[in-house]
Amino acid sequence: MKTIAVATLGLLGALCLCPAAADATSTFDLMRETAVSWPGSLPCGGWDCDCVFRRQRGCCCVAESVFALEEATFMRMVHMWESLSSLNDQLGELTGERKVAFTAAMGPMTGCFGPFTSNVPIPYSNVQYNEGLGYNPALGTFTAQRAGLYSFTFTAFSFVGTAGERLYHKVQLMKNGQMIASVWEDNREDSEDSGTQTILLQLRRGCQVYVELLSGRLLCGDNQGRNTFSGYLVYPLTE
């Protein structure tokens, strides 16, 4: 009898995996009823016989293995997604987020800016370009949003109007309150003059760079925006 039940179960499994035509339905039902009514244990091994015979006709006997495979596949996909996201961030560090640049000039003036009793940041309020929004025209200050090597250029221009008058200006590039570079003029031979400096600076996130007018000095007669301040990120660095 047991041998018959085992044979019946084998045939049932074959029919379970590969459903027969409609005329085999009654035979399947009979075989199923015979297997379910068997009082002893069935040699199913790792198969869930109760699931096969009592709950559905599909092969849920392998559901546990399928679920385990599904979970492992899902976790692997999550890991791959995290790896791709990390790689994308690293690529962004090197390429996609390198767009940091600005250029600004002082507004037109027929008079003079200065003199003052203390050093004063120059308000380059006429902004032509500000990619990355690192430059603040209200303060005349550039704030590094990321660590990197930056290039800065500034030009000081002054026109006193009459030959023989004293041309007396000095502006300096500042990094976090420390003077880095300067241009200056102090003579009575020229009615107008200008000076330009370009410098590379390694900045950390949050570093501030600006140009200030030295106390007692002045900039005059710039009605064409010749006093300028600009900078850009050469390449990023890791902190």
- pLDDT tens profile 51-73: 555 555 444 555 566 677 788 88
Structure confidence at residue 14 (pLDDT): 44
Average pLDDT on 80-94 reads 74
Q: In which residue are the tokens 């949050």 written? A: 206
- pLDDT tens profile 112-157: 999 999 999 999 999 999 999 999 999 999 999 999 999 999 999 9
pTM for the model stands at: 0.60
Q: Any alpha helices (H) in 92-167, and if so which ranges?
A: none
Are β-strands 178-187 and 167-175 bridged in parallel, bridged antiparallel, or unpaired? Answer: antiparallel
Q: Which domains does the chain have, with CATH numbers?
A: 1-96 (no CATH), 98-236 (2.60.120.40)
* Token code pair at residue 98: 């390198």
CB contact at 8 A, 31 and 8? yes
- pLDDT tens profile 27-60: 767 766 776 666 666 555 555 555 555 555 444 5
- pLDDT tens profile 183-223: 988 887 777 889 999 999 999 999 999 999 999 999 998 98
Distance CA 231, CA 153 (A): 6
